[in-house]
Amino acid sequence: MCGIIGFAGREQAAPILLDGLARMEYRGYDSAGIAVRSETKGLQVKKAKGRLQVLSDLTHGGADLEGTLGIGHTRWATHGEPNDINAHPHVSENGQIALVHNGIIENYLEIKEQLQRHGVKFTSDTDSEVVAQLLEFHYNECHNMLEAVGRVLRRIEGSYAFGIICSDYPNALIAARKDSPLILGYGENGNYIASDVTAVIKYTRDVVYMEDGEIAVVTPESIDVFDSEMNPLEKKHSQVDWDVSAAEKGGYAHFMFKEIMEQPEAIRKTVSPRIRDGRVVLDDVSMTVDYVKNISRIFIIACGSSYHVGMVSKYNWERLLRRPVQVDLASEFRYSDPLVDENTLVIVISQSGETLDTMAAMREAKRRGARTLAIVNVVGSSIAREADDVLYTWAGPEIAVATTKAYSTQLVLMDLIGLYLADLLGTVEKSEYDAILTEMQLLPEKMSHFLEHFEDVQYFASRYFNHNSIFFIGRNLDYAMGLEGSLKLKEISYIHSEAYASGELKHGTISLIEPGTLVVALGTYAALFDKAMSNVVEVKARGAEVLAVTTESFKEKMEKTADSTIVVPDTHPILQPSLGVVPLQLFAYYVALQRGCDIDKPRNLAKSVTVE
């Protein structure tokens, strides 16, 4: 979703701002802009609808804008259509203040009307411009930018990360945050603000995560952070420990493909440190046996692909723990008056750790007394900081909008937690526990082996890429995996696709199957393989073309019925989705490639969804 970058330093700001925005392109956007202040030219603002390249061309790579202080923004439209005028930065009426904003100002209409009564003229449809104008209004009253920002923050409601510059302040930019991420970066040639570390990692690894309600004044020499009462704060610095190359394509055509290929290593990094002497060790979680025994109910809450991880885990955890596990979409959970109390364990899953729906659902669960455990990839993100406990998936930065390696690491981490809890409860046999752990450690190798033959999937994609509607069917874990396969395909290839529990087809959906319809049949779940096969026969009988995914054990049987078969290595049944999902990711990737889609930045989508 929207990305903010700001720089106060001793170098020309515009090229740095454009570079930072380029590194945040993956977040999703539809327009971009920068504002730079110089002694001679004052505030200069350039904005453009469309790709960042348009803005870069417009400013000759930033060379046209002179000055060492600036802010930049990529916008993902919420209020007002994507166009040049609604793009950020927004400038106050007298042209003295420029502002970039992520988030939503809920009471903007009321403030807008009030300012209009004072004669203020607006040019855009955005809630963000209202803040720029309100800032000018208060600045005219108090003539102190920090004080004016404080007054504005007390007046507005909603979520925000702001970057602000003012022509009266040649060296300082002001930042503020509430419910929208913002980091401060300490560099050699100046200091930064950014929505995420990928924007500044090229320049510094020394960062501070801003908290809700905090305000920062950033100059080339220093960064001062204040609480909402303007009391100075001492902030803890963090060192970003991943390499800049982790956020670069490194010779691959797309981030998505690179990230698919990185999955074995990401799984290894997530699993290895958590298995010691044949046991699962979750150092960062402090649940006692008594607490676990008193858990009456478990909720798993997430959105999108993270929710699909929850679907797999529901099957696995209920099997392992013999406790009711409910998976809820975060956006539904928070408004459903959920049955949550202090004996409820709430697991929230989020790659970005910033998804607003998931964050709000977690807060609601906490408010009702539940204990929350967050599974997060981005270190220091909002969800990670607010949860009672956090376990990180060590997938490294995920840049492609369509998640792959984060999904895979979430899956194995949830399996590990399931085993850990089952062990505490005594609901898993030792032999089963050992077998799962052994197989889990073999997953990276088996996945690598499969990935060596990625061209097989490419072949099927070239055969089926021109279908306009595709069904994914499977039972139990295969159904949960099908949900993810279907989402991957539709989000990057724009092909309409649905995932169904195979047994449910005959209750309606089978009427959509006609000669030539492509059905991706998932038959990796051993316990229900024969049942799944009956459903494959049903769709074949109605003329469907069947592309199957199965395991080595069932290859022969599947090949007798399906038109095409992709075979993944066998593993423990609980872990089978970790291998089964890989061909589905590759299939989506190659279909999208054949169709000429913008794979890493699919239309209308954002990487971290920070609005409701």
Which one of 304, 338, 418, 474 is in contact with ligand F6R (CB under 6 A)? Answer: 304
Residue 327: CB minimum distance to ligand F6R, A:
14
SS3 383: helix
Site track 37-66 with ligand F6R (rule: CB under 6 A), x = hit: ------------------------------
- By CB under 6 A, which span of 67-75, 244-252, 297-305, 445-453 interacts with ligand F6R? 297-305
Q: What are phi and psi of 442, to 5 degrees?
A: -90, -10
**Which residues in 452-471 contact ligand F6R (CB under 6 A)?**
none
Set 46, 47, 258, 607: catalytic member: 607
SS3 255: helix
Asked if 352 interacts with ligand F6R (CB under 6 A), we say yes
Closest to 8 measured CA to CA, from 186, 195, 128, 202: 186
Give the span between the Cα atoms of 522 and 502, in whole angstroms: 9
Give the span between the Cα atoms of 94 and 377, in whole angstroms: 43
Pairing of β 545-551 and β 518-523: parallel
Nearer to ligand F6R, 313 or 358 (CB): 358
Asked if 608 interacts with ligand F6R (CB under 6 A), we say yes
Asked if 195 interacts with ligand F6R (CB under 6 A), we say no
Nearer to ligand F6R, 558 or 609 (CB): 609
Residue 351: CB minimum distance to ligand F6R, A:
4
Residue 358: CB minimum distance to ligand F6R, A:
5
Asked if 350 interacts with ligand F6R (CB under 6 A), we say yes
Nearer to ligand F6R, 92 or 350 (CB): 350
Which one of 30, 259, 478, 491 is in contact with ligand F6R (CB under 6 A)? Answer: 491
Give the span between the Cα atoms of 381 and 504, in whole angstroms: 39
Asked if 551 interacts with ligand F6R (CB under 6 A), we say no
Residue 312: CB minimum distance to ligand F6R, A:
13
Residues 6+ apart with CB under 8 A from 430: none
Which one of 56, 306, 344, 382 is in contact with ligand F6R (CB under 6 A)? Answer: 306
Which residue carries 């999208």 as its tokens? 592
Which residue carries 């000055």 as its tokens? 67
Asked if 609 interacts with ligand F6R (CB under 6 A), we say yes
Nearer to ligand F6R, 45 or 609 (CB): 609
Asked if 351 interacts with ligand F6R (CB under 6 A), we say yes
SS3 328: strand
Nearer to ligand F6R, 437 or 599 (CB): 599
Give the span between the Cα atoms of 190 and 182, in whole angstroms: 17
- Pair 396, 366: CB distance under 8 Å: no
Joined together, the tokens standing for residue 584 give: 């589905």
- Pair 298, 347: CB distance under 8 Å: yes
Which one of 305, 326, 372, 551 is in contact with ligand F6R (CB under 6 A)? Answer: 305
Joined together, the tokens standing for residue 350 give: 């989020």
Asked if 358 interacts with ligand F6R (CB under 6 A), we say yes
Residue 306: CB minimum distance to ligand F6R, A:
4
**Residue 416: C-alpha distances to residues 21, 353, 504 (Å):** 37, 20, 31
- Pair 523, 536: CB distance under 8 Å: yes
Q: Is 2 a catalytic residue?
A: yes
Sign of torsion, CA 202 205 206 212?
A: positive
Nearer to ligand F6R, 187 or 482 (CB): 482
Set 2, 166, 303, 597: catalytic member: 2
Asked if 128 interacts with ligand F6R (CB under 6 A), we say no
Residue 610: CB minimum distance to ligand F6R, A:
10
- By CB under 6 A, which span of 86-94, 349-357, 441-449, 563-571 interacts with ligand F6R? 349-357
User: For 390, left (φ over 0), alpha (ψ -120 to 50), or beta?
Assistant: beta
Which one of 128, 403, 585, 610 is in contact with ligand F6R (CB under 6 A)? Answer: 403
Joined together, the tokens standing for residue 260 give: 């698919």
Nearer to ligand F6R, 302 or 536 (CB): 302
Asked if 408 interacts with ligand F6R (CB under 6 A), we say no
DSSP string covering 337-366, please? -----TTEEEEEEESSS--HHHHHHHHHHH
With CB atoms as reference, the residue minimizing the distance to ligand F6R is 304
Residue 483: CB minimum distance to ligand F6R, A:
11
Please report how many Cα atoms fall inside a 13 Å half-sphere around the Cα of residue 168, on the Cβ side.
10
Residues 6+ apart with CB under 8 A from 552: 567, 568, 569, 570
Nearer to ligand F6R, 306 or 409 (CB): 306
Nearer to ligand F6R, 306 or 550 (CB): 306
* Gap between the terminal Cα atoms of the chain: 12
> Could you check whether the bond before residue 324 is cis, i.e. omega within 30 degrees of 0?
no
Which one of 5, 149, 340, 402 is in contact with ligand F6R (CB under 6 A)? Answer: 402
Nearer to ligand F6R, 195 or 352 (CB): 352
Residue 392: CB minimum distance to ligand F6R, A:
13
Joined together, the tokens standing for residue 185 give: 């970066």
Q: What are phi and psi of 203, to 5 degrees?
A: -105, -30
The distance of Cα 427 from the centroid of its chain, to the nearest Å, equals 34
Residues of this chain that interact with ligand F6R (CB under 6 A) are 303-306, 350-352, 355, 358, 402-403, 487, 491, 608-609
Q: Which residues form the catalytic set?
A: 2, 607
